[in-house]
């Protein structure tokens, strides 16, 4: 059976229920709140990724607003997930009730999570489970000590540290509002107690809703033990507005930058570098200012990525050099000691070891052989308006500046393409290909042309003065 390991006490199997039915009206968006992204991954996928490390036997997502869109993303992120509909929304307790059928027969602990809290670490979830097991508690709540408690629910604890109640700010007394120990919303409950307790929840509060937080008092009334686990406030940020979304992005980026530097990456100007949720960087990678990593980037050891470069869906092998001002698009495969220079764009193309395109070049749908050189202004003309076609450039080939390689076409090993050529047929190995129009010279014509243009310009200026 799936479990989170602990040295203190073996924990029970885990199920997870993620509440994701809200409209998120403060986002001012047509997109469901939980599908907004931090580091190129939706909020709910962040939650799923963190809790999935606990290997839950069942994962249930409660959907409501734009249910089909949320369901589609959830099943992509976690194919084994089950969804349940909350309609109409009547509070967090009511939302959790909708998981009853999906959890039928499950014995263990049920995590209740929120789909808009992307920063909670898997280790924090594990600590909640471990603390609950060690205390032999019915229920454990993840809390935090807030600098400004504001509208957060307050955790009321006893002198011996047990959790006595969670009081919503709107329902709290002045003394309770002074408490700075706050509720994150995350709760872990014994499955055998969960729905029995939920059935006792009543909407006796300022909102007229079924509060999940009432489970604490209900469990204690049955003689159950409840505990609170303190986490870091920075992890507990819930995204309810665009401002919150920006704060979550900033927090994720700070965390990713620190992790990269701890693992041996040099960031020249850390605050200007942006990572995706799945960026992988090797040791001794050097990253210059204003570099952006989109999804799907793997960079091996000892790579230099110079300033203002953008990478997405790309693999960069050890010793390669990228940028400045380079763009690697999906399918870019840059191999050992290859060089992609300034204002070079690579898409769905392989650069073998030592190959280089140092400036002002587009290489798409191509294979560039080892130690080949692509001159400035070269374009692989890969699209005919309907289909994409590939270009193959051989080992040690040299493509002169301002060349157009009209795909499908192959440049043989060791071949040279003269600068300014348009290549429409294959070039044999070690051959020189010249694809230019014939140069024609007309003696004295430039002088005559300059005189004629100067006369026309003077006449134009004269007419303008006459009108004024």
Q: Is the same domain home to 31 and 146?
A: yes
Q: Is the same domain home to 156 and 299?
A: no
CATH code (residue 411): 2.160.10.10
Q: Is the same domain home to 115 and 152?
A: yes
pLDDT of residue 294: 98
CB atoms within 10 A of CB 392: 19
What is the arithmetic mean of pLDDT over 201-217? 87
Q: In this predicted model, what pLDDT tens digit does every residue of 79-105 receive, in sequence order?
A: 999 999 999 989 999 999 999 999 999
Domain final residue pick, 236, 265, 286: 236
Cα–Cα distance between 169 and 180 in angstroms, integer? 11
What are the residue numbers of the active site?
359
Q: How many CA atoms lie within 13 A of 271 on its CB side?
A: 0
Q: Is the same domain home to 104 and 127?
A: yes
Q: Provide the number of structural domains found in the chain.
A: 2
Q: Is the same domain home to 223 and 313?
A: no
Q: Is the same domain home to 214 and 311?
A: no
Domain final residue pick, 236, 262, 286: 236
pTM listed for this prediction: 0.90
Q: Please tell me which residue, 414 or 23, carries the higher pLDDT value.
A: 414
pLDDT of residue 5: 38
Query: Which residue in this structure is represented by tokens 């629910």?
Result: 153
Q: Is the same domain home to 413 and 383?
A: yes
Residues 6+ apart with CB under 8 A from 68: none
Is position 448 within any domain?
A: no
Residues 6+ apart with CB under 8 A from 238: 114, 116, 117, 185, 244
CATH code (residue 133): 3.90.550.10
- Per-residue pLDDT band at 70 (split at 50, 70, 90): very high
Q: Is the same domain home to 150 and 289?
A: no
Cα–Cα distance between 164 and 216 in angstroms, integer? 7
Q: Is the same domain home to 212 and 114?
A: yes
Is position 282 within any domain?
A: yes
| CA 397 vs CA 254, 418, 428: distances in Å | 43, 11, 11
Cα–Cα distance between 435 and 213 in angstroms, integer? 76
Cα–Cα distance between 31 and 20 in angstroms, integer? 13
DSSP-derived pairing of the beta strands 181-190 and 321-322 = unpaired
What is the arithmetic mean of pLDDT over 202-209? 81
Q: Is the same domain home to 206 and 273?
A: no
Nearest to 218 by CA among 163, 175, 170, 176: 163
Is position 7 within any domain?
A: no
For residue 76, the enclosing domain spans: 14-236
Cα–Cα distance between 122 and 131 in angstroms, integer? 14
Q: In this predicted model, what pLDDT tens digit does every residue of 271-300 receive, in sequence order?
A: 999 999 999 999 999 999 999 999 999 999
User: Are 80 and 74 a contacting pair, CB within 8 Å?
Assistant: no
Q: State yes or no: pLDDT of 221 exceeds 90.
A: yes
Q: Is the same domain home to 210 and 358?
A: no
CB atoms within 10 A of CB 136: 10
Bridge partner residues of 114 (DSSP): 19
Is position 316 within any domain?
A: yes
Cα–Cα distance between 189 and 404 in angstroms, integer? 65
Residue 222 backbone phi and psi in degrees, to 5: -85, 0
Q: Please tell me which residue, 407 or 203, carries the higher pLDDT value.
A: 407
pLDDT of residue 9: 52
Bridge partner residues of 82 (DSSP): 60
Q: What tokens does 268 get?
A: 């020249």
Q: Is the same domain home to 95 and 223?
A: yes
Domain final residue pick, 236, 263, 283: 236
pLDDT of residue 451: 94
């Amino acid at each position: 059976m799936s479990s989170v390991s602990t040295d203190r006490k073996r924990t029970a199997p885990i199920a997870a229920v993620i509440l994701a039915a809200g409209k998120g009206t403060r986002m001012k968006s047509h997109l469901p709140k939980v599908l907004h992204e931090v580091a190129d991954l939706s909020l709910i996928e962040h939650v799923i990724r963190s809790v999935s490390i606990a290997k839950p036997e069942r994962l249930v997502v409660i959907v409501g607003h734009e249910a089909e869109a949320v369901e589609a993303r959830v099943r992509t992120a976690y194919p084994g997930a089950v969804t349940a509909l909350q309609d109409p929304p009547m509070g967090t307790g009511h939302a959790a009730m909708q998981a009853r059928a999906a959890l039928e027969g499950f014995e263990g602990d049920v995590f209740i999570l929120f789909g808009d809290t992307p920063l909670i670490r898997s280790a924090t979830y594990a600590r909640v489970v471990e603390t609950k097991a060690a205390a032999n508690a019915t229920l454990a709540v993840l809390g935090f000590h807030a600098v400004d408690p504001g509208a957060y629910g307050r955790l009321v604890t006893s002198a011996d540290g047990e959790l006595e109640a969670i009081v919503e700010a709107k329902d709290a007394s002045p003394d309770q509002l002074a408490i700075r120990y706050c509720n994150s919303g995350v709760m872990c409950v014994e499955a055998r107690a969960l729905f029995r307790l939920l059935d006792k929840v009543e909407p006796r509060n300022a909102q007229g809703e079924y509060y999940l937080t009432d489970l604490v008092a209900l469990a204690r009334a049955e003689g159950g033990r409840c505990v609170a686990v303190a986490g870091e406030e920075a992890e507990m940020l819930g995204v309810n507005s665009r401002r919150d979304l920006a704060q979550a992005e900033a927090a994720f980026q700070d965390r990713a930058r620190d992790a990269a530097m701890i693992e041996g990456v040099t960031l020249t100007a850390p605050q200007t570098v942006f990572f995706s949720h799945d960026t992988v960087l090797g040791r001794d990678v050097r990253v210059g200012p204003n570099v952006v990593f989109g999804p799907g980037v793997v960079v091996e050891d000892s790579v230099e990525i110079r300033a203002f470069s953008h990478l997405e869906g790309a693999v960069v092998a050890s010793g390669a050099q990228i940028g400045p001002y380079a763009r690697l698009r999906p399918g870019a495969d840059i191999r050992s000691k290859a060089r992609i220079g300034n204002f070079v764009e690579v898409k769905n193309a392989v650069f073998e070891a030592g190959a280089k395109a140092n400036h002002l070049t587009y290489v798409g749908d191509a294979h560039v052989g080892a130690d080949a050189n692509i001159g400035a202004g070269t374009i692989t003309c890969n699209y005919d308006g309907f289909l994409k076609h590939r270009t193959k450039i051989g080992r040690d080939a040299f493509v002169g500046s301002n060349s157009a390689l009209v795909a499908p076409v192959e440049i043989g090993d060791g071949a040279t393409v003269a600068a300014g050529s348009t290549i429409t047929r294959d070039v044999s190995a070690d051959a020189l290909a010249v694809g230019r129009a014939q140069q024609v010279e007309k003696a004295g014509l430039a002088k005559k042309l300059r005189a004629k243009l100067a006369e026309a310009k003077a006449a134009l200026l004269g007419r303008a003065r006459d009108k004024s």
